[in-house]
Structure 1
Amino acid sequence: MTTVAIIGGGKIGEALLAGLVAGGVHPHDIRVANRRAERGRELSNRYGVKVFTDSAEAVWHADVVFLCVKPHHIVGVLEDIRDTIDSNDQETSVVSLAAGITLRAMEEALSAGTPIARVMPNTPMLVRKGVCALTPGRHLGAEQEAQIIKLLQMVGVVVPVAEKHLDAVTAVAGSSPAYMYLVVEAMIDSGIALGLDYATSRQLVEGSLAGAMAMLQETGQSPAELRANVSSPAGTTIAALRSLEESGVRGAFFRATDACAKRSREIGQQMQ
């Protein structure tokens, strides 16, 4: 039995919570700390978990603590829970899911030797389709890392990465669901502009994108190969692709991900 504490009941915290419960972790083994008691009651009613307003109380005897608060709150929360973690009978692993906050900053806020890790998640954890990039700290043992990976695999796939790449991970995975939703929204609206009603346009767009992603994952072919297979010479698809290229779609994504990674680095620097 693994006892899990989740500090922060916002979007990421709830996505992790929902995924763990769906993945088989008993609600009684999950503790959630949230500053707003009303939000805590909401999560308790929805998932049957234990809720607290005090972070230190939530991590008492926890095996793994997931920090799902905003980056600028991470260090303060670590300082709040440090003494409780030191007093626990078992060694407690602490995992930050915040962008930009380095392992070094976490180590400085905790007692020496505390096992820690950084994870960059994304919100599809809510439906167990998340992507979590994991960077272990130097004091995280193999068994503790395996325990964290086992929990995260309940909410999606886990990809090990070096800490130096986490800003890039934030740009291409952590924030990317928002890019996809924007693209989907634009495609639905374009269908409406062409005369379709909203429901029909949404059904067509969602179904097409789900099918495209399934082909990408199941065929093993590259995106370029699959795109070429749809693009007949002088056909309708190539006409659309030409328009997208002329509009600078590739450049827009390069600029967007660069801006995201840059902002992640800035957050980390501000916390030092």
Structure 2
Amino acid sequence: MEQLSANMVLPLDLLDQGPAPPPVDTAQQEQPQANNNPNGPPAPAQQNPPTQTQTHAGNAASSSGNAVPSASGAPAAAAAAAAGAGQRQDDLLRCKMRIRLPAFHVPRLAGRNADGVSFINEVQQRAEVRISFSRTTDLNGYKTLTVKAADPIRLNTARRLLLNRVAVWTAMRENGPVKENVRVPRAVVGSLIGMRGRAIGELELQSGASVAVENVHIMPPVPIVPGNTRMRGLTLTGTAEAILRCKVLIEAQIQAHRRGDVGFLGRRGTMTAG
């Protein structure tokens, strides 16, 4: 199995901005010329012609006393406003965590799914965090993901979602390390799969285990069991801890279905009728 690591730094130190440098006076003082003719009248001082500065607004506006901003300064002002907003948002994200993942997982995390949304963007929206990853790979083949959030709870939520998604991919690729078959009522299978498989994807994301439903055409439901309930088979793959979490979530969904509730899989609109 791949080894994943995460570390947390709380809080994020703010950058120390030093004092602004003193303004530099670039004005030049005019020196009066000395009178070399003691008998004659003093020579008039030479006056330098005034330098003309061109402004985009024109001289008419300056004579009226109203300063008109330059048109070329509008993009700069917008960029400065955006930078200020970004700085204020960075100040709110005072907690951060670094997660090391195998480099080959990062393109899959950043790539878009069938709905046109990358998994990293989905985690950012669900956990209200900001995620960035290093462009370089270390000597061990790992890349570092940096997660920033306003509090540790959001950091842990993002960490759990990221590591569970990688654990599901690892379980599917290695077909293990543990596999277990469980039976569920046939009427609940629809709610476990969900529309376009979204419910079963949520089940995998919350548990970290891969879930496969037996094909009814290949393996039909088992005979009638006590309680007159027909059953379907599920194959759970992953670590022992992930399979245990998955079984707890499945049982909770079964109980919710019996009560007529949508269960945890229906909170995001991913469940269909059972």
The TM-score normalised by the length of structure 2 is 0.26
Larger helix share, 1 or 2: 1
The TM-score normalised by the length of structure 1 is 0.26
> Whose Rg is larger?
2
